[in-house]
């Protein structure tokens, strides 16, 4: 366990004269490597070290966690440069985060901590009843896992805490990919999660991310409003059946889930069985683009088609290629929608803002020979709050069209 030290023992780091200190004072949580004076002393700091940040005039800006090997070289933890990062500090933040989620949801299944927006930079915590899955995606969080875990169990009463070390973000911080239990034993079976009148099965150890995408909950609910009794629906990039199961619960007569992962489709099948409508679910494993093309050649038609792909544009260099991929998805999917039916398209790429994604989707629909009314724009649920100063926190977009 890393032991915190108190200023003035902490090292002090300084912004370059032309760095935007005003943005930091107004809430922006990151300092990029090209904004900081990186002398020999700073470069030798261990990843996760706490330091006091100063502007070019040596005015104190707050307490930061430093990682000299990361593009985000410093993350602001506290405006108080003398704050002690211990169990009590984490407890305060977890209590504030829990107060919001407890007001929003009747059952303890949600994102409990959404990184910077909940005052814990780089930290994600998803809650599954008595179990919490932690993604410490920043070096400082990895260094302080012990007090973090103690505070988390104190506040939530969870008996199991798992560390999930998957994902691109940890690699950018120079962190390992070793997932393990931090408290208790990992569940050996998927955890059932009730959402939108369906049961989803979350694999907390072998599934994608933390096991379930809570961020799409509200968009699942909107898609469920689009179905009628007898509706046939298609859920592409379905993972564990997120949209498909919600629409079946709303009365759709059939749902076809498409995904490249056999394990994810097996969980979708288990969820349908637990929900009592496994006889109305069909699965199709394969590359989504190939399946969409094949369905078009089969002249298949659906009342509602939803496509929720992975991040095609995870960074600015990937933006143009990602937008072309989103456009292609829209073009292939549009042809599968019955006249008067609905098409929902999603993006979790923070590099592609809403305008760019919406325009790519509209181009794809047009090139698919269809015209569409944009009827709804969705975002991540309220357990994924956005930080107005940080565009990356508003990564999820969903656009729903009615096609003629």
Active-site residues, by number, are 348
Cα angle 385, 160, 348; round to 5: 30
- Residue of 305, 322, 324 whose CA lies nearest to 314: 322
Separation of alpha carbons 227 and 243, rounded Å: 11
Q: DSSP secondary structure string, 346-390?
A: EE--TTS-HHHHHHHHHHHHHHTT--EEEEEEE---TTS---TT-
Q: Give the CA radius of gyration of the chain.
A: 23
Q: What's the CA dihedral at 105, 110, 114, 120 to 10 degrees?
A: 90
Let me know: does 155 contact 95? Beta carbons within 8 Å: yes
Residues written for the chain: 404
Separation of alpha carbons 199 and 246, rounded Å: 9
Let me know: does 332 contact 294? Beta carbons within 8 Å: no
**Pair type for strands 160-163 and 131-136:** parallel
Separation of alpha carbons 80 and 67, rounded Å: 20
Let me know: does 381 contact 215? Beta carbons within 8 Å: yes
Separation of alpha carbons 229 and 357, rounded Å: 31
Let me know: does 143 contact 85? Beta carbons within 8 Å: no
């Amino acid at each position: 366990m890393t032991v915190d030290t108190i200023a003035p023992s902490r090292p002090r780091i300084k912004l370059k004269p032309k760095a935007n200190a005003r943005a930091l004072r107004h809430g922006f949580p990151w300092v990029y490597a090209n904004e900081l004076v990186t002398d020999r002393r700073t470069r030798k700091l261990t990843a996760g070290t706490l330091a006091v940040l100063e502007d070019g005039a040596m005015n104190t800006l707050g307490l930061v966690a430093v990682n000299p090997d990361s593009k985000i070289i410093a993350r602001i933890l506290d405006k108080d440069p003398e704050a002690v990062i211990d169990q009590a500090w984490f407890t305060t933040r977890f209590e504030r985060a829990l107060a919001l989620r407890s007001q929003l949801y009747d059952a303890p299944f949600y994102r409990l901590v959404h990184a910077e927006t909940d005052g814990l930079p780089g930290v994600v915590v998803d809650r599954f009843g008595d179990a919490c899955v932690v993604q410490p995606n920043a070096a400082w969080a990895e260094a302080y896992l012990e007090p973090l875990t103690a505070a988390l169990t104190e506040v939530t009463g969870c008996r199991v805490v798992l560390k999930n070390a998957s994902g691109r973000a940890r690699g950018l911080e120079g962190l390992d990919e070793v997932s393990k239990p931090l408290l208790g034993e990992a569940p050996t079976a998927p955890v059932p999660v009730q959402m939108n009148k369906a049961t989803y099965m979350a694999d907390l150890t072998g599934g994608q991310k933390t096991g379930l995408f809570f961020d799409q909950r509200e968009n699942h609910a909107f898609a469920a409003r689009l179905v009628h009794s007898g509706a046939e629906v298609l859920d592409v990039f379905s993972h564990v059946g997120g949209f498909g199961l919600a629409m079946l619960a709303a009365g759709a007569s059939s749902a076809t889930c498409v995904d490249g992962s056999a394990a994810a489709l097996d969980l979708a099948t288990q969820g349908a069985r637990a929900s009592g409508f496994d006889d109305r679910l069909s699965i199709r494993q394969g590359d989504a683009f190939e399946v969409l093309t094949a369905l078009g050649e089969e002249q298949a038609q659906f009342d509602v088609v939803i496509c929720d792909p992975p991040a095609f544009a995870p960074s600015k260099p990937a933006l143009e290629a990602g937008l072309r991929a989103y456009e292609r998805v829209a073009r292939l999917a549009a042809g599968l929608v019955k006249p008067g039916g609905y098409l929902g398209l999603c993006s979790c790429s923070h590099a592609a803002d809403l305008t760019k994604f919406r325009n790519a989707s509209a181009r794809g629909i047009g090139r698919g020979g269809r015209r569409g009314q944009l009827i709804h724009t969705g975002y991540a649920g309220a357990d994924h709050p956005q930080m107005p100063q940080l565009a990356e926190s508003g990564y999820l977009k969903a656009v729903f069209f009615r096609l003629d």
